[in-house]
Amino acid sequence: MIHGIKITPLKIISDERGKVMHMLRSDSEIFHKFGEIYFSTIYDSAIKGWHLHKESFLNYACIKGEVKLVLFDNREKSKTRNEYQEIILSPNNNYALVTIPPNIWNGFKGLNNEESIIANCLTLPHNENEMVRKEPFDKSFNYKW
């Protein structure tokens, strides 16, 4: 597991009317601060990656469908430098919150026949200048999606 990544199992409360899907609380040890929350959708077999945030922590939860989240650590002084980590996220069999510290490359691939939805609660409001982006098949990554 990449140093600094936290995976927190989440609760789903279901009844005949639907579900309540917990994600992040301000009294959780994982919570840093609130910047913004947004939802990203991804189609089956589509890839969104690579990107990293230089300052913001990310908090991902898959609320519909299934995705493969891929993390890559190229931080110079990290004990897990050059390691990849794959996490399958789905509300059906691995409903969890993945907390990603700054400077970890990440991307995801849709694994569901329908559109999947990822919720992301960042510690800072979105700022393109705080991000770095690369294409999914960029040669600086030795990864096969």
Q: How far is CA 76 from the centre of its chain?
A: 22
Asked if 24 contacts 117 with a C-beta cutoff of 8 angstroms, the reply is no
Measured CA to CA in angstroms, residue 1 lies from 73, 86, 93 at distances of 10, 9, 20
Per-residue model confidence as pLDDT tens digits over 27-68 = 999 999 999 999 999 999 999 999 999 999 999 999 999 999
Q: Which residue is associated with the tokens 């299934």?
A: 66
Asked if 50 contacts 34 with a C-beta cutoff of 8 angstroms, the reply is no
Tokens encoding 50: 């690579």
Cα angle for residues 31, 83, 85 (degrees, 5° grid): 55
Per-residue model confidence as pLDDT tens digits over 99-108 = 999 999 999 9
Label residue 94 by pLDDT band (50, 70, 90). Answer: confident
Per-residue model confidence as pLDDT tens digits over 67-89 = 999 999 999 999 999 999 999 99
